[in-house]
Structure 1
Amino acid sequence: MAEVLFRNFTEFANSPTMVTSTEKNVEPYDMIFSLWEGVLVTAILGILCVFGLIANAVTFFVICTSKTLRKSSFNILIMSLCVSDFLSALNSPFQMYRRIWGFLEFELPVGFCKFTIGLGTWTMFVTVQHILVFSVFRLLAMQFPNKIGRITPKIAKITAVVIWIEVFIVSALFYIMTSSVIPYKPGRYKTACTSVSKDWRPIAAEYTTYALPILLFAPFIGILLCAIIITYILIKIRKRRATQHTTNNKQKQEQERMALIQVTLIVLSFFIGYSVESVYRMTKALDLRDLFTVRTKWVTLTTAYVLLRVSECLNPLFYNFGSSQMREKTKQFLRTGDVSSAPNSISSPTMKTASPHKTTVV
């Protein structure tokens, strides 16, 4: 298998002519990527894959085995997000092969192509909707701190299950049906494992027009607006207290400071992971694909995927950064392999949320 892949890639790299981004206008162009670029991206994704698997598994286990942490409805949602990020990391080797070493000739069965595209789409939009829910809950907790307790762990579990089922039916299932492996031929500009086969292109164009605004663009805007409103409210509270010379204890000041830092990090992480992907999908929805050559398309999509994996690897770090209680539980687990003896009395800088996606000040 490895010899076949290397031979195919070598022949491709030494090919004097390739194609542009459209089937109607075939012209010579430089090779899509060099061997060292493929090796570099593979190494980066390999490291992110290992880290993502370990970090999300540890975070999930720490919450699941801690009686204190799993009582929080927000931590239930974090566990669900950990599952999404874990599956995304697990899917990385298949995505790596599809985007790099199997770009011209996908040697695996069609089922693997459908699996990696379906799972990749599923986990991406599940993560987006989880972050949107976190952002809305966080904003509600700031506006109605006395009522946020009504969001019980049971409600959180139902919310998570609904998100998983809804995204699978609306998005993942569609791409499982439309994805296929196309045979290699000179002048082909698509990846061998394509998300939309030729027979599905008219339907896919209509689907993209209506689905992307709902699944990606609207949540993207919603998360940004929530972050801006929350930051504004926190700054306003701090200014009002400073003007009124209100006595404020150090713990409260620390909570507000952590909330501001967390909001900044969350928005930064989300934009790192989804901005390039969103921009590319926007050009696709607007039928502006002629802006890309095959080379720039590969660079854009590969960069988007790497940044998405970076963002998903940052999530477990932010979970621990956002809650001193979870941080202590994680340290205890890494030292002893058990969280039952970890301190339970350590207060979190956020309202029982222990999540970077809902930095709510009490």
Structure 2
Amino acid sequence: MNYSVSTNPTVVFLHNGTSPATEDQQIAIAVVVGVLWVWSTFGNLLTILAITIHNGMLTKCNLFILSLAVSDLVSGCIASPLWLYRRTWGFYDWKWGQFLCKLFWFTDESTSYCTSLHIASFAVWRLIGVKWPLRFETIKIRTVKLWLIVLWILAIVFGGFVFSYFYESTPKVTEGRVSSSWPMCSIRLSEHGIEQHLIYYTFSSSTFMIAPLILLTCTSMLLVKELYFKAHFKSKLRRKKEKKASMQLALIASSFLFGYIPMTTYVMWTTRQKNKPPLFDYWFHVAAYFALRLSECLNPLIYNIASGHMRKASRDVLLRARTCGRRRLQSVASLARLNVSAARTTPSVSRRSPSPRTPRKATPSVSRRSTSPRTPRKATPSGLTTPHQNGHEQFLSVKFALVESSLV
């Protein structure tokens, strides 16, 4: 294996031609990403099925959870495999083309902005439901769907299309610059790409990350005020429901902060720092990305912990899947048994040539019944019954006989 040393006079950095990590470290990173990918896919898919299949789960608040689960599912299924290749075997040699490079950034940034907008909107939605419950009931589900569509459009346009413009797959060979420790699929260097990216990232992160975070903080403070300082004006059942809803929001917001604050901090640091240790930059980004993926895995657990209806719906989905799997196995087993029984009952064909059979002589058929002529039956006098008459006729004949005897 050929090892090379960078020519940066301030940093001595060994790499094996694929990434700053060794082969064992790359395999360990792949195992962790694979586990998180399976966990995130299973949990978010279960949440989507629980809300869409189970009756009564398509409520206004659950629509936000459904949209969040779709965002996390898309990010885990598309961005995670591309990130793994980008940070391991394709770090210095990206062989998957410009389209997949831009697709990674398109998916990663659009789902990140979509998640932040959803959580801020969800917090406002919870505040409306707690502070103005009557007004909350007048809002239609169609309005919520339209609002979610607007959020997705904003995230795709400003986080997907615009951000993917700043990224491309180019070799990062310039030493002493901010891009010296970046992978091959990263911010383009031509036409002042880093400066333009920094300006746009400052604007977009302030609009789609910091502003939703401030809104989430203010909304949480108002929710605490409504729940604990005005609780004596509400019934016990309503207070219990509102506390559960607020706990769900607090857990989702905590998961969001746990996942996105490290990644935002890394991007702001690495795009401004020139002479930075490459290994520290590499593992800082890996740790931040693990935190981001772990937050997506924790969200389905949070949905089920904070809601009894969600737990019941998820349990029903699992039971349905188990029942369908058993029926599928039973049908396959019964079909196999039928094939085996059919194979046993089919007559075996002899290998020898069939011998010519002598034709049988036709024998006259002998009738089982006697060929003697039948004697005609005698007519029975009226008033007497025969075995060939039905029950009603027997009853009438007996009745008429009794009437005649009484008259005599």
Same fold (TM > 0.5): yes
Q: Which residue of 2 aligns with 1:307?
A: 291
Letter in 1 for 2:264: S
AA paired with 1:89? G
Q: Which whole-Å deviations, capped at 9, do the CAs of 1:138-195 have from their partners, x for residues lacking one?
A: 1122111111123322111111111111111112102222211113648543211013
Query: Residue 11 of structure 2 corresponds to which residue in structure 1?
Result: 27
CA RMSD of aligned residues (A): 2.7
How do residues 1-362 of structure 1 correspond to structure 2 at under 5 angstroms? 11=2, 14-17=3-6, 19=8, 27-29=11-13, 32-70=20-58, 72-91=59-78, 92-183=80-171, 185=173, 187=175, 188-199=180-191, 200-237=193-230, 241=232, 249=236, 251=237, 254-255=240-241, 258-259=244-245, 261-283=247-269, 288-290=272-274, 292-337=276-321
- Cα 1:215–1:247, aligned 2, differ >3 Å: closer, same or farther? closer
8 A Cα contact 1:73 1:156, kept in partner: yes
Shift of 1:80: 1.5
Distance in 2 of aligned mates of 1:316 and 1:148: 25
CA pair 321-213 structure 1, distance change in 2 beyond 3 A: same
- Unpaired runs of at least 5, structure 2: 324-408
Cα distance 1:150–1:202, how it changes in 2: closer, same or farther (>3 A)?
same
Q: Between 328-337 and 228-237, report the one with greater CA deviation.
A: 228-237
Question: What is the percentage of aligned positions where both structures have the same residue?
Answer: 24
CA contact (8 A) 1:98 1:193 kept: yes
Per-residue CA deviations over 1:87-128 (Å, capped at 9, x if unaligned) read 011121111111222111112111110111111111111011
Q: 1-side partners of 2:132 and 2:150: how far apart?
A: 24
Q: Which amino acid in structure 2 is aligned with residue 61 of structure 1?
A: L
State the alpha-carbon separation in 2 of the partners of residues 332 and 17 from structure 1.
57
Which structure carries more relative contact order (alpha carbon 8 Å, separation 6+)?
A: 1
TM-score normalised by structure 2 residue count? 0.70
Supply the AA of the counterpart residue of 2:316. Answer: Q
| Inter-CA distance 224–17: structure 2 relative to 1 (3 Å threshold) | same
Alpha-carbon deviation of 1:271?
A: 1.7
Instruction: Give me the whole-angstrom Cα distance separating, in 1, the residues matched to 2:321 and 2:281.
Output: 45
Q: Which amino acid aligns with 2:77?
A: L
User: Per-residue CA shift, 1:283-341, capped at 9, x if unaligned?
Assistant: 46xx64247422222222211111111111111111222221121011011012399xx
The code of the aligned residue for 1:87 comes to V
Structure 1: segments with no counterpart, 5+ residues: 1-9, 20-24, 340-362
The answer to whether the 8 A contact 1:175-1:195 is kept is no
What TM-score do you get using the length of structure 1 for normalisation? 0.78
Equivalent pairs counted in the alignment come to 313
With over 3 angstroms needed to count, the CA separation of the structure-2 counterparts of 1:18 and 1:273, relative to structure 1, is: farther
Structure 1 or 2, whichever has the larger Rg, is 2
What is the SS of the residue equivalent to 1:198? coil
